[in-house]
Chain A
């Protein structure tokens, strides 16, 4: 899927906005012939809440000498994958320190204790999400 299209939609079915083949307006009363067989059907879609934009955290100038947390969310295999990322840094950017942590709670839960630990002791994070 095209990212720009996705962004403009914010989770709404793209087809709803893309070149609708139907009138979105009520037919004019005078145009009786054209509207003879037309029906007005109500939109069944619900009420999504407004999305609060979240500015991204400022980036680092470089990763040299920094501590990066490698965070898994509990999906099978993520721990092994993050091990490999640790090995990659050791080989390719040895000044970087990596720390592996499993996020507490269910997949979608926040882990405020871990976030606080990273803020205090680390500089950035790489998070493996899903499988």
Chain B
């Protein structure tokens, strides 16, 4: 920036601040720490922070701030050049049991048993694609712009796919997922989740589960592909080190295997998701989403009324706690989709239009949410508190996929945004 700066960070972010400064080329940056948190404290409490000590150095905080702006630079602090980070040797040799624990203890897994990535298994995985092992597939970071992006090759992805328990014929889906460059472990303090919608004939070729228990632990491709996403985000995407590259304060159970949603195209009365995005029905495509989480819709009003459940009312109701950071992804059992068609919503677009028009929030309510600034439009004069604004400004913030085994007309809603669709066929 060209002028002396004293960065001030709360102690909760100490590891993050130090490692991030180093990754960005200032390993000796003079960072001053305050107690945590600042948000929600009174003015008097904050002033007391300033009159107290830096909880890391133990020295008076404001003296440290002044020193950091006025003490002459050391030789280290003025250094230029480049430093190459080390990720360890190309392979590890030990007994299988020791290697399992070694991989776990060194943060290379999701803390569970992996299939050890031997040369033989990795070679077999590489047979699942026509692409060269050294081809660069993409790059990834836990928050674009905030951390250096790591790049990765087909071979490096094969190693992680093996570890997750994937079979070689799943590999093109994992390559396509990685090519979206969306990490499964965002660094945000929010504890985000990700989802992947899978379309095309590959769903049946791999025996993916889009029926009973589709989102649960009942199918190898669903489980292993989802798990591979987390594994590769950690090992290849510079993500998932708590305190440094992962800050989600509560964490998210979905991060183990992520939401893998092969669409039940045959039982759906609507256009498949990938066709909505411009692909042909016979193409194989993965579409990725990021956001908060997913919740079951059974509490929606209008489901227990006669003569037929008012599914659209329930959908609208279940989106009430959604914030403005992300759009919506509704996962309908085929029975719900068929019910919605009978209610007149014969396309996903019609349902999105209805929700966009009928799902509104008052300015007063919007202002009382955490991310209000992203919600309430900046207008002059400002909008009155009782004015109603749309929950989302675009109908395409409402996405729908059909998944489930038709044992009951249930749906789930996720506060998640669509990010990208990538051809799986390109990675065959």
Contact = CB atoms under 8 A, between A and B. Distances in A.
Interface string B71-115: 111000111111111111111111110110011011110000000
B71 A59 contact: yes
Interface in B373-395: none
B25 interface: yes
A53 B80 contact: yes
A38 B14 contact: no
Contact of B91 (A42, A83, A128): A42
B22 A49 contact: no
A124 B324 CA distance: 36
Interface stretch (B155-163, B291-299, B327-335, B411-419): B155-163
Contacts of A131: 10, 12-13, 36-39, 189
9 contacts: A43-B92, A51-B22, A56-B4, A56-B78, A77-B40, A80-B38, A84-B50, A124-B4, A128-B38
Interface of A: 1, 3, 6-7, 9-13, 15-17, 20-27, 35, 37-63, 68, 75-78, 80-81, 83-85, 87-88, 92-93, 106-109, 115, 118-119, 122-131
Given A46-B150, A49-B150, A51-B25, A127 B7 contact: yes
B224 interface: no
A6 B8 contact: no
A21 B97 CA distance: 13
Interface stretch (B62-70, B276-284, B303-311): B62-70
Name the 9 nearest CB pairs between A and B, nearest first: A77-B39, A46-B236, A54-B25, A45-B87, A108-B146, A24-B89, A44-B235, A22-B94, A77-B38
Interface of B: 1-10, 12-15, 17-20, 22-30, 34, 36-41, 43, 46-47, 49-51, 62, 65-66, 69-73, 77-96, 98-99, 102-103, 105-108, 116-119, 122, 143, 145-146, 148-153, 156, 159-160, 163, 189, 231, 235-238, 241, 243-245, 370
Contacts of B46: 80-81, 84
B160 A123 contact: no
A48 B238 contact: yes
A95 B214 CA distance: 67
Contacts, number: 304
A92 B8 CA distance: 19
A126 B8 contact: yes
A35 B93 CA distance: 9
Contacts of A81: 34, 38, 41, 46, 49
A6 B12 CA distance: 16
A7 B20 CA distance: 10
Contact of A124 (B6, B82, B118, B163): B6
B1 A1 contact: no
A44 B93 contact: no
Contact of B85 (A10, A52, A118): A10
Interface of A is mostly: loop
Contacts of B51: 88
Nearest to A116: B2
Given A24-B89, A41-B118, A56 B77 contact: yes
B26 A56 contact: yes
Contact of A47 (B4, B38, B156, B241): B156
A13 B106 contact: yes
Given A39-B94, A48-B238, A127-B7, A77 B27 contact: no
B84 to A, nearest CB: 5
A44 B99 contact: no
Contact of B5 (A6, A15, A88, A127): A127
A50 B83 contact: yes
A45 B39 contact: no
B244 A17 contact: no
Contacts of A45: 87-88, 108, 156, 235-236
A127 B8 contact: yes
